[in-house]
Amino acid sequence: MSHEGPFGPFDPYQAPVPRPAPVPVRPRRSFGDFLAGAFRFLSFLVMSVLVVGLSGIAMMLLAPDTAAKVMAYAPPSWQLPQAPGAEYSPDLLGPAEEPPAVPDLKDPVAGTGPEFVPADPDQTRPTPGREASDTPLGKPAPLPAIDNRYKLLRDGTAYDPCRPIHYVTNTDNMPPGGRALIAEAVAEVSRATGLVFIDDGLTTEPASAERRAFQPERYGDRWAPVLFIWKTEAQQPRFTNTQYGTNTVGIGGSVAYTLEGTGSVYVTGEVQLNAAALSEDLQKPGGATSVRSVIAHELGHVVGLDHVEDTSQLMAPTSTDEVTSFGPGDLNGLAKLGQGICIPEL
């Protein structure tokens, strides 16, 4: 092998004597350098805190309504007591409360509800056939299209279309205009189902997981009406009102009664509404529409609709400001629920 080096091309190769590699010397930092580094580190921390803080403030200013509104079921661990022959919908109600003393005046408020008809002391359910008609009292509104984006709480169970559904309202904690919003939601469900609703007025009856479907001491010889009630967080622990996070704004469901050989029908129900969260919503632009949609959603549960995952339907578990009325799938489900069986034996 030849090497073109400092000698001739045919001279023996003589490797140059290598120079010793320089020994790296670790620089010595002065106290001033230490202070400069500490200052830079502290500056980084301060800037990070400022960025995070300003970002949070910006989110609060730009998106004050980011709390998710959830229309949820009660935990399945809540077991409702069942009377003989009675079954309860999966959409359960609130925790048990002590029943109040029966007021001197009959509920609903005198003069606003139907005539009070006393029941016999040994009755366990109303006299069969009260207010029952031979044919359905109404029919569902025409559907915009066939749409299967709905789910029923119980297949084959609905309210009896041959008799009216009575309802009452407890106005404790109710925001101004709340009763009118209930009436609007009831009218929307009535149109979609063809079921006839009758407003029996006001009541002092509280919400309870142990609500009895037959309360003769309060309502006489008939099924207890559907109850609308506005609850505080103290009364219903699931009703929080946080600006960020998840708020359950309503709970709704019905009681089904089954007679062997005839079928199963819902006989009464209950809608609990988050008084604090919905009262606050009413103060915002478009708040009345938002609150009405929550009431309609819960009333959808009362007549038998279950949650669906399709967020374009009102029966989605979480509400949005973009969906404030029943969608095509909801309407198909409501129309089906308005065509249940008539059971005059109940």
Which pLDDT score is estimated for 8?
Answer: 34
Q: What is the pLDDT of residues 280-291, one digit of tens each?
A: 999 999 999 999
In-domain check, residue 345: no
Q: Band of the pLDDT at 231, cuts 50, 70, 90?
A: very high
Query: Considering the chain, what is the average pLDDT of its residues?
Result: 77
Please count the structural domains in the chain: 1
Backbone Cα Rg of the chain: 34
Greater pLDDT, 58 or 93: 58
Instruction: Report CA-CA distances (Å) from 50 to 59, 226, 229, 327.
Output: 14, 53, 45, 45
Select the more confidently predicted residue: 256 or 207. Answer: 256
Digit-coded pLDDT (tens) for 269-318: 999 999 999 999 999 999 999 999 999 999 999 999 999 999 999 999 99
From CA 181, how far away is CA 66, in angstroms rounded? 23
Q: How far apart are CA 13 and CA 4, in angstroms?
A: 9
**CATH number, domain at 129?**
3.40.390.10
* Mean local confidence (pLDDT), 211-216: 92
Structure tokens given for 50: 């400022």
> Rounded to whole angstroms, how far apart are CA atoms 326 and 313?
6
Locate 216 and state its tokens. 């003769």
Q: SS3 of 190, please?
A: helix
**Integer Cα distance of 71 and 248 in angstroms:** 6
Report if residue 274 sits inside a domain. yes
Distance CA 40, CA 146 (A): 67
Is 267 within the bounds of a domain?
A: yes
Question: Has residue 26 been placed in a domain?
Answer: no
pLDDT in tens, 25-43: 333 444 455 555 556 656 6
Range of the domain at 245: 66-337
CA angle 271, 277, 281 (to 5 degrees): 105
Range with top average pLDDT, 6-15, 56-65, 227-236: 227-236
Q: Would you place residue 342 in the very low, low, confident or very high pLDDT band (cuts 50, 70, 90)?
A: very high
pLDDT given for residue 109 in this prediction? 43
In a domain, 118, yes or no: yes
What residues does 88 pair with on adjacent strands?
255
Q: What is the pLDDT of residues 145-182, one digit of tens each?
A: 999 999 999 999 999 999 999 999 999 999 999 999 99
Look at residue 61 and tell me if it is in a domain: no
- pLDDT of res. 305: 98
d(CA 123, CA 20): 111
Does residue 248 belong to any structural domain of this protein? yes
- 29 domain residue, yes or no: no
